[in-house]
C-alpha cells in the first residue's frame, strides 16, 4: 500500500537526494581534506556495524556523507587543497553529531517516528539542507579562482559531470562524479604533464607508497564552536536515513519500520567510531536502492563483502596516494558541482512533498533559514559562536513550531 500513497511518506525524497553526488566514499574526504584511506576504512567498519545492529535485515552500505562538508569546512577554515590541518576539532564535532544521531535512534526505538515527522516536516528539512548547500558557495567559488587554465579545467569538469548526469546511460548517471573526475584528471595530464600550462601531477608519492599498511589515525579534539556547527547535521542524516529505509521497504515488499530506530542508532554509532579515528561522518547510500530495484537482489551479505573490500582498500597506502594525486582544478570542478547539487537536490523536498509556499508559516520558516545559512549569520553566545548552518537549523526548527501555535493543522 505504500506505493499507492506516496504522499504519506514525506521522507521518500531522501532515497535519491544525493545520488548524483555519490560516486565513491572517497570523494567527500578529499573535499574536506581528510585522509581517504581512513575514511574508506571506517566506511567498511560502519557497514559491518550497521549489518550487526540491524540483524542483517536492512540492506545498506555506509559511506562518507556529503552533509558534513559545509560544516567541517566552516569549523576548520579548510582552504580546499591538501590535508586539513585542523582536522582534530572537526572530529570532535563529528563525534558529537554521531552521539546526537544515536540518541535520536534510541528514542525512535521506543516512541516511533511520528515525533520526528512533526518536528522536522519537509519545509524544515528542505530549508536546512538547502542552507547547507548555499553556505558552501563561497568555498566553491574560492577554489575556482586561479589561472585561466585552472578555471577552464574546473569548468570543463563541471560540464562533463552535468552532461553525463543528463545524457549518460541510466547505469552511468550515478557515477557521474567518477567519470568527471577521470575526465578532469586526463585534462591535467595533457595540459600539465604534457604541455606545462598548469602544474602537472606528481606520482612520486604513489611510487613510494606501500601496498599495505595501517591507516594514519587522528585523535579528536573537542571545541564547542565546532561542536555547535557540526552536531546539527544529525537532523539531515535522520531525514535522509528515514527516507532510505522506507524506500527499501517499498522495493523489497517488507515493512522495515521496526528497524528505523536501529538504523539511526547504528549509523550514529558508526559516525562516532569514524570520528574517533580520523574518519568522516557516514550515512546510508542511496545508490544501493536503485541497483537493488533494477536487479531484484536484496541480499545483505553483498554489503558485508563490500565492507570487507573497503577495509582492504583502507589498508592500502598506495590506494590513498593515488586519490591524493587528484589535481586542484578537478577538485574545484567537483566542488562546484557537488555543492550546487546539495542545495538543488534538497530543494526537491519541497516539490515532491508539495510544500505550500502560499502558507506564511512555510514561507517565513524557509526564507529566514536560507538567509541565515547563505549569509553565514553567526550568533555569539558567551565564549562560543553559532555559525550560519547552526543558526539556520535553529531558526527553521523554532520558527516552524512557533508559527504553528494556535493553528488547527499544526
> What does the DSSP assignment read for 28-62?
HHHHHT--HHHHHHHHHHHHHHHHHHTTT-S---E
The C-alpha angle with vertex 254 and arms to 249 and 259, in degrees rounded to 5, equals 65
Residue among 395, 331, 335 nearest 365 (CA): 395
Q: How far apart are CA 341 and CA 337, in angstroms?
A: 6
At 64, is the secondary structure helix, strand, or coil? strand
Is a pLDDT exceeding 70 seen at residue 32?
yes
Is a pLDDT exceeding 80 seen at residue 5?
no
pLDDT at 365: 92
pLDDT at 13: 38
pLDDT at 277: 92
Task: Write the CA distances from 303 to 77, 188, 310, integer angstroms.
Answer: 35, 35, 10
Strand partners, 385: 380
**For residue 148, is it within any domain?**
yes
Cell triple for 184: 578532469
pLDDT at 88: 93
pLDDT at 288: 62
What percent of the chain shows pLDDT beyond 70? Answer: 87
DSSP category for residue 194: I
Is a pLDDT exceeding 60 seen at residue 240?
yes
What H or E segment, with its residue span, contains residue 381? Answer: strand 379-381
Is a pLDDT exceeding 50 seen at residue 68?
yes
pLDDT at 23: 44
Is a pLDDT exceeding 60 seen at residue 284?
yes
**For residue 343, is it within any domain?**
yes
pLDDT at 331: 84
Q: Are 30 and 39 in contact (CB under 8 A)?
A: no
Q: Are 72 and 32 in contact (CB under 8 A)?
A: yes
Span 285-309, average pLDDT: 71
Contacts for 364 with CB less than 8 Å, ≥ 6 apart = 399, 403
pLDDT at 294: 55
Please give the biggest Cα pair distance in the chain.
Answer: 68
Q: How far apart are CA 208 and CA 345, in angstroms?
A: 40
pLDDT at 12: 40
Lowest mean pLDDT among 91-95, 313-317, 389-393: 389-393
> Which residue has 535522509 as its cell numbers?
240
pLDDT at 83: 84
pLDDT at 273: 95
Cell triple for 36: 581517504
Is a pLDDT exceeding 60 seen at residue 19?
no
Tell me the DSSP string of 78-115. --SSS--TTHHHHHHHHHHHHHHHHHHHHHHHHH-SHH
DSSP category for residue 5: -
**For residue 367, is it within any domain?**
no
**For residue 388, is it within any domain?**
no
pLDDT at 75: 85
At 326, is the secondary structure helix, strand, or coil? coil
Q: How far apart are CA 375 and CA 409, in angstroms?
A: 31
Give burial (CB, 10 Å; 0-12/13-18/19+) of 103. Answer: middle
| Alpha-helix runs per DSSP H in 136-278 | 137-144, 148-167, 170-173, 176-188, 204-208, 224-230, 233-252, 260-277
Strand partners, 386: 379
At 308, is the secondary structure helix, strand, or coil? helix
Average pLDDT, the chain: 81
**For residue 395, is it within any domain?**
no
Band of the pLDDT at 292, cuts 50, 70, 90? low
At 17, is the secondary structure helix, strand, or coil? coil
Band of the pLDDT at 364, cuts 50, 70, 90? very high
Is a pLDDT exceeding 80 seen at residue 307?
yes
Q: What is the pLDDT of residues 92-136, one digit of tens each?
A: 999 999 999 999 999 999 888 788 778 888 888 888 878 877 887
At 171, is the secondary structure helix, strand, or coil? helix
Between 379 and 52, the higher pLDDT residue: 52
Owning domain of residue 306: 8-351
pLDDT at 297: 65
Contacts for 267 with CB less than 8 Å, ≥ 6 apart = 46, 50, 62, 101, 105, 237, 241, 282, 283, 284
> How many domains, the chain?
1
Q: How far apart are CA 42 and CA 24, in angstroms?
A: 14
Q: What is the pLDDT of residues 241-253, one digit of tens each?
A: 777 777 677 667 7
DSSP β-ladder status, 384-386 and 379-381: antiparallel
Span 41-69, average pLDDT: 87
**For residue 71, is it within any domain?**
yes
Q: What is the pLDDT of residues 149-189, one digit of tens each?
A: 888 889 999 999 889 888 888 777 777 888 888 999 899 88
Amino acid at each position: 500500500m505504500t506505493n499507492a500513497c506516496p504522499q504519506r511518506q514525506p521522507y521518500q525524497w531522501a532515497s535519491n537526494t544525493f545520488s548524483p553526488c555519490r560516486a565513491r566514499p572517497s570523494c567527500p574526504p578529499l573535499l574536506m581534506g581528510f585522509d581517504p584511506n581512513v575514511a574508506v576504512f571506517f566506511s567498511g567498519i560502519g557497514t559491518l556495524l550497521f549489518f550487526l545492529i540491524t540483524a542483517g535485515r536492512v540492506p545498506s552500505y555506509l559511506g562518507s556523507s556529503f552533509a558534513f562538508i559545509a560544516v567541517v569546512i566552516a569549523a576548520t577554515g579548510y582552504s580546499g587543497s591538501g590535508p586539513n590541518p585542523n582536522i582534530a576539532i572537526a572530529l570532535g564535532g563529528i563525534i558529537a553529531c554521531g552521539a546526537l544521531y544515536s540518541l535520536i535512534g534510541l528514542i525512535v526505538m521506543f516512541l516511533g517516528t511520528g515525533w520526528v515527522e512533526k518536528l522536522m516536516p519537509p519545509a524544515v528539512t528542505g530549508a536546512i539542507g538547502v542552507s547547507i548547500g548555499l553556505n558552501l558557495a563561497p568555498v566553491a567559488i574560492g577554489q575556482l579562482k586561479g589561472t585561466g587554465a585552472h578555471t577552464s579545467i574546473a569548468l570543463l569538469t563541471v560540464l562533463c559531470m552535468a552532461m553525463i548526469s543528463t545524457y549518460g546511460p541510466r547505469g552511468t548517471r550515478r557515477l557521474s562524479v567518477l567519470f568527471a573526475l577521470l575526465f578532469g584528471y586526463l585534462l591535467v595530464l595533457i595540459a600539465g604533464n604534457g604541455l606545462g600550462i598548469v602544474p602537472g601531477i606528481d606520482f612520486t608519492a604513489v611510487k613510494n607508497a606501500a601496498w599495505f599498511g595501517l591507516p594514519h589515525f587522528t585523535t579528536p579534539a573537542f571545541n564547542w564552536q565546532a561542536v555547535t556547527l557540526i552536531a546539527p547535521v544529525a537532523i539531515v542524516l535522520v531525514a535522509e536515513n528515514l527516507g532510505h529505509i522506507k524506500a527499501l521497504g517499498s522495493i523489497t515488499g517488507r515493512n522495515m519500520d521496526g528497524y528505523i530506530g536501529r538504523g539511526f542508532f547504528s549509523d550514529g554509532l558508526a559516525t562516532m567510531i569514524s570520528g574517533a579515528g580520523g574518519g568522516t561522518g557516514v550515512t546510508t547510500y542511496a545508490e544501493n536502492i536503485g541497483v537493488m530495484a533494477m536487479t531484484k537482489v536484496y541480499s545483505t551479505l553483498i554489503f558485508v563483502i563490500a565492507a570487507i573490500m573497503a577495509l582492504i582498500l583502507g589498508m592500502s597506502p598506495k590506494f590513498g596516494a593515488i586519490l591524493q594525486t587528484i589535481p586542484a582544478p578537478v577538485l574545484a570542478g567537483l566542488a562546484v558541482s557537488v555543492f550546487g547539487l546539495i542545495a538543488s537536490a534538497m530543494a526537491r523536498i519541497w516539490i515532491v512533498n508539495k510544500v505550500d509556499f502560499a502558507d506564511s508559516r512555510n514561507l517565513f520558516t524557509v526564507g529566514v533559514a536560507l538567509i541565515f545559512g547563505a549569509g553565514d549569520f553567526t550568533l555569539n553566545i558567551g565564549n562560543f559562536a553559532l555559525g550560519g548552518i547552526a543558526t539556520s537549523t535553529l531558526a527553521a526548527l523554532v520558527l516552524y513550531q512557533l508559527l504553528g501555535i494556535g493553528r488547527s493543522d499544526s
